[in-house]
Amino acid sequence: ETGVTQTPRHLVMGMTNKKSLKCEQHLGHNAMYWYKQSAKKPLELMFVYSLEERVENNSVPSRFSPECPNSSHLFLHLHTLQPEDSALYLCASSPRLEGNYEQYFGPGTRLTVT
């Protein structure tokens, strides 16, 4: 595997379910990110980790809970979601936590909340 991978690619869940999204990067990067992409809207930064430490929690509701057990893996735990949380969730990584580094994105998880 190369680059940034995400599983599952598609997820349908009810509002009372608990599920987790997984991201793995094989690039040796130190920074990892979660973004939300809704139709016709800009990507919204949700969480940022640098060397497994969270450095950004961008006013995200507590029903989204990130976890970064090591610099290669990033999870997004979901519980009691709302229909408006349906979106594409993208994971990205970059060599370091500095803005002039290119971010490498995974293919995303398409989430539908019913």
The residues binding another protein (CB under 8 A) are 4, 31, 40-43, 45, 48, 50, 55-56, 90, 94, 97-100, 102-108, 110
Smallest separation, CB 18 to another protein (Å): 26
Give me the DSSP letters along 19-83. EEEEEEE-S--SEEEEEEE-TTS--EEEEEEETTEEEEE-S--TTEEEEEEETTEEEEEEES--G
Rg for the chain (alpha carbons), in Å?
13
Between 15 and 55, CB nearer to another protein: 55
Shortest spacing between CB 37 and another protein, in angstroms? 9
DSSP state, residue 100:
T
Of 82, 101, 83, whose CA–CA distance to 92 is shortest? Answer: 101
Q: What is the largest CA-CA distance in the chain?
A: 40
- Name the residue nearer to another protein (CB basis): 13 or 88: 88
Tokens coding 42 = 């800009």
Shortest CB 25 distance to another protein, Å: 12
Q: Which is nearer to another protein, 75 or 104 (CB)?
A: 104
Q: CB of residue 23 vs another protein: minimum separation in angstroms?
A: 11
CB nearer to another protein: pick between 1 and 16: 1
